[in-house]
Amino acid sequence: MSAVPFWQRKRLEEMTQTEWESLCDGCGRCCLHRLEDEDTGEVYATRVSCKLLDTHSCRCTRYPVRRRYVPDCIQLKPADARSFTWLPRTCAYRTLAEGRALADWHPLVSGSAETVHSAGISVQGKVISEEHVDPEDVQDHIVTWVGE
């Protein structure tokens, strides 16, 4: 067994499904609604989360069957990694696709799922479910996240 962690010795496309899934840091940012300016194409992050996001753990409550409840939920795949520019700069999928190292707070590096929260990277305690926001009011919840 190599002493070099899999994310440092494998390309994204070479990872097993388990390795790929373990790259998720549990920040919850990919589960937030984004708005795109039709004129400029600029994308804005909001603090409005998908109805399936557990806002404390920052994990999907129905992950294996999420598309049954949210048909347009995006499934991240290694082959699409180069197009992940819409993901936060802190996201491990984007980080590795861009050739950068995982941050010290990433659970694979720190050994703890809590460091993403203690570092202020996750959306824990900072978001509101789409179930509590009128779709016409989502633009009132535009934010800039740590690391962006």
Q: Within its chain, how far is the Cα of 88 from the centroid?
A: 7
Q: Look up the pTM and report it.
A: 0.88
Q: How many domains does the chain have?
A: 1
For residue 8, list its beta bridge partners: none
Q: 74: domain range?
A: 6-141
Residue 1 included in any domain: no
Residue 16 included in any domain: yes
Task: Check pLDDT > 90 for residue 138.
Answer: yes
Residue 146 included in any domain: no
Residue 119 vs residue 145, higher pLDDT: 119
pLDDT in tens, 29-54: 999 999 988 999 888 889 999 999 99
Residue 148 included in any domain: no
